[in-house]
């Protein structure tokens, strides 16, 4: 027994020595050496707090992807999500000085930066992340802060443009049954849109015994931008946040006090007076908003698809095509070119960072680099060939209806690991070098293969291959999105943004719900208060950001 113990002790020590020799190139599966030599690793579990989304706390190795990644790298991830108020959770971290190994703080990122909780990543990227560096190469300068350091990796480096066939961004949505009722008309302007809704409500004042809601709006908490953004879209601008940018001068200006905002709110005021506006819109929670849309009695609304996906999935499961929605690129006037579809962009003000509490930043960076390998990015985005996607004779990826149904199920996403790894990690976007979409949902073949018979009829009527064909292609905007500009906490620009949002939350309900005869006076009072704010300070920051991005683009080309 003593001899056996001694023998195994020697073996164990040797193994540790081998592991130490290979630790530097832990995940470099293409390292030099004999072909039969396999990389060695020691098992490790890192913690990752993801504040961007909700989910069940879990370990990555409980999923198909996570288990595979652990087998190849030795890395397991304990993923945690917010269970309480985010500000409180982040506040406790900062006060204690104890952080998870990796952190995506979302809207609390300024607090994390101010607390100096992230470590610089420049050297780690240079020395341990050739795959990550290759994908993010065009954007590395944009990722640097004023001190020259990179502190977090944004979620997605774009390589080429490809619109989502089914529109995943902003649009004015309308029930397909409304279009069907009136012979599938072309609807371009805001007046045409609301005239259609008004006519339908006149024919069907109730749906399933409840009042038909002509138009609702999302106004809850930070999602209030779904109420403030439409004027820009209606005027032919993309979602640059609180500003619109002149395409000739590249100068930004706020539009909260402009005629386009007045025009939109006045239209909502008019439809409210006709009983077409959801009178509970300004007091409804996000969950209640989704429930209202899921009820099937809302004819239209403006929003970004990613905010209403749950409601859309619920309606789709019902199997009644008339209750589902079609995205429309509505503008104020005929002749305005819509810009709802986002151009290729790079949002550098959010991301995932390694905290100062991490004991092994090198290993984390190596794991990130492993994830950035093209084969792993395809594995995360598309899954396993023959199981979650197919490849046709032209090398194009697609999914069968059965595969689409499976990959859309939340239970499958959780079991496979899509819920953990698809977003909120270093990742690419756009097109792979072989021309296939980085994300399966953006592949036209996937959309076309899975359209229902009713959707095929709808597309044929409007002479479309996919629904995004109804929308104009985006114009090149090297700064996009302007809302990703970094605003110093406590600065005059930050104070303006906070005060402007507070003012709009106070006045927009009054402007929409007041009597039409009171609208002009209330608008003038609102504008008077708005223009007392430090607009100049905010626009200055935006214009400096835009100027830097334009210069970066010119130098890049």
Secondary structure string (H, E, C) spanning 258-279: CHHHHHHHHHHHHHHHCCCECC
The better pLDDT of the pair 362, 485 is held by: 362
pLDDT of residue 7: 39
User: What would the mean pLDDT of 143-172 be, rounded to a whole number?
Assistant: 90
Instruction: Please determine, for residue 11, whether its predicted confidence score (pLDDT) is greater than 90.
Output: no
| Banded model confidence at residue 87, pLDDT cuts 50, 70, 90 | confident
pLDDT interval class at 83 (50, 70, 90) = confident
Please state the rounded mean pLDDT for residues 481-497. 91
Q: Mean pLDDT, to the nearest integer, of 219-243?
A: 96
Residues 180-194: tens digit of each pLDDT: 999 999 999 999 999
370 pLDDT exceeds 50?
yes
Pairing of strands 170-175, 325-328: antiparallel
Q: Which of the pair, 250 or 84, is modelled with greater confidence? A: 250
The lowest-confidence range among 52-61, 65-74, 241-250, 360-369 is 52-61
What pTM did the predictor assign?
A: 0.82
Q: What is the pLDDT of residue 39?
A: 55
According to the model, what pLDDT value does residue 482 have?
Answer: 92
Distances 449 to 59, 263, 392, 432 between C-alpha atoms, Å: 34, 41, 12, 21
Task: Output helix, strand, coil percentages for the chain, rounded to the nearest 5.
Answer: 50, 15, 35
CB 420 within 8 A of CB 63: yes
Q: Which residue, among 346, 287, 355, has the nearest Cα to 155 in the 3D structure? A: 346
Q: Which residue has the higher pLDDT, 557 or 317?
A: 317
Query: Mean pLDDT of all residues in the chain?
Result: 90
- Percent with pLDDT over 70 in the chain: 93
**Residue of 337 and 548 predicted with greater confidence:** 337
Q: What is the pLDDT averaged over residues 294-323?
A: 93
Least confident span in 29-33, 381-385, 468-472 = 29-33
Measure Cα distances from 478 to 304, 463, 504, 512 in Å.
22, 32, 29, 35
pLDDT tier at 458 (50, 70, 90 boundaries)? very high
- 175-208 residues labelled b (16+ CB within 10 A) or e (exposed): bbbbbebeeeeebbbbeebbebbbebbeeeeebe
Res. 43: pLDDT tops 90: yes
Lowest mean pLDDT among 14-23, 250-259, 395-404, 477-486: 14-23
Confidence (pLDDT) at 410: 84
pLDDT of residue 190: 98
Categorise residue 148: left if φ over 0, alpha if ψ from -120 to 50, beta otherwise.
Answer: left
Q: Which of 151-160, 258-267, 522-531 has the least mean pLDDT?
A: 151-160
pLDDT of residue 295 exceeding 90: yes
- Reduced to 3 states, what is the DSSP secondary structure of residue 45? strand
Categorize the per-residue pLDDT at 13 as very low, low, confident or very high, splitting at 50, 70 and 90.
very low
State the number of CA atoms in the 13 A half-sphere of 373 facing the CB. 15
Residue 24 pLDDT class (50, 70, 90 cuts): very low
Position 443 pLDDT exceeds 50: yes
Assess whether pLDDT exceeds 70 at residue 37.
no
Give the pLDDT score at 554: 81
Identify the pLDDT of residue 231.
98
Degrees, nearest 5: CA angle 399-404-405: 155
Q: Name the pLDDT band for 36 (thresholds 50, 70, 90).
A: very low
What pLDDT shows up at residue 557?
62
Which residue would you say has higher pLDDT here, 208 or 312?
A: 312
């Amino acid at each position: 027994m003593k001899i056996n113990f001694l023998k195994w002790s020697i073996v164990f020590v040797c193994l540790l020595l081998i592991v130490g020799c290979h630790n530097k190139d832990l995940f470099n599966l293409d390292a030099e050496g004999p072909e039969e030599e396999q990389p060695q690793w020691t098992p490790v579990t890192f913690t990752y707090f993801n504040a961007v989304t909700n989910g069940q706390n879990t370990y990555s190795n409980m999923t198909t992807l996570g288990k595979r990644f652990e087998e190849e790298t030795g890395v397991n991830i304990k993923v945690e999500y917010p269970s309480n108020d985010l500000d409180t959770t982040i506040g406790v971290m900062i006060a204690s000085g104890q952080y998870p190994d990796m952190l995506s703080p979302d809207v609390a990122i300024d607090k994390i930066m101010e607390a100096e909780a992230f470590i610089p990543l420049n050297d780690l990227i240079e020395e341990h992340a050739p795959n990550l560096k290759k994908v993010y190469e065009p954007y590395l300068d944009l990722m640097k802060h004023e001190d020259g350091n990179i502190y977090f990796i944004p979620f997605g480096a774009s390589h080429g443009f490809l619109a989502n066939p089914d529109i995943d961004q902003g649009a004015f949505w309308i029930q397909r049954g409304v279009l069907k009722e009136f012979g599938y008309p072309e609807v371009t302007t805001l007046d045409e849109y609301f005239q259609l809704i008004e006519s339908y409500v006149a024919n069907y004042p109730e749906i399933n015994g409840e009042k038909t809601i002509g138009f609702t709006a999302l106004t809850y908490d930070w999602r209030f931008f779904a109420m403030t953004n439409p004027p820009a879209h209606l005027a032919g601008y993309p979602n640059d946040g609180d500003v619109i940018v002149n395409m000739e001068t590249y100068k930004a200006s706020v539009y909260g006090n402009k005629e386009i905002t007045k025009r939109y709110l006045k239209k909502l005021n008019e439809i409210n007076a006709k009983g077409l506006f959801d009178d509970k819109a300004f007091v409804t929670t996000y969950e209640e908003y989704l429930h209202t849309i899921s009820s099937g009695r809302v004819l239209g609304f403006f929003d970004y698809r990613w905010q209403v996906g749950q409601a859309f999935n619920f309606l789709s499961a019902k199997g009644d095509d008339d209750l589902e929605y079609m995205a429309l690129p509505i503008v104020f006037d005929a002749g305005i070119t819509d810009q709802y579809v986002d151009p290729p962009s790079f949002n550098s003000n959010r991301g995932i960072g390694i905290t100062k509490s991490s004991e092994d930043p090198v290993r984390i960076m190596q794991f990130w680099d492993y994830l950035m390998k093209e084969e792993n990015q395809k594995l995360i985005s598309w899954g396993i060939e023959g199981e979650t996607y197919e490849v046709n004779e032209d090398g194009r990826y697609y999914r069968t209806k059965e595969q689409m149904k499976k990959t859309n199920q939340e239970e499958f996403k959780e079991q496979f690991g899509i819920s953990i790894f698809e977003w909120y990690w270093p990742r690419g976007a756009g097109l792979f070098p072989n021309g296939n979409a980085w994300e399966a949902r953006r592949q036209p073949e996937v959309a076309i293969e899975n359209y229902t018979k009713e959707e095929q009829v709808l597309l044929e009527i409007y002479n479309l291959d996919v629904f995004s064909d109804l929308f104009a292609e985006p114009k090149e905007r090297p700064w996009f999105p302007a809302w990703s500009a970094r605003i110093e906490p406590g600065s005059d620009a930050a104070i303006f943004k906070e005060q402007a949002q507070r003012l709009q939350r106070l006045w927009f309900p009054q402007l929409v719900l007041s009597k039409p005869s009171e609208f002009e006076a209330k608008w003038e009072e609102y504008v008077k208060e708005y223009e007392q704010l430090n607009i100049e300070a905010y626009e200055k920051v935006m214009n400096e950001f835009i100027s830097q991005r334009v210069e970066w683009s010119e130098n890049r080309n």
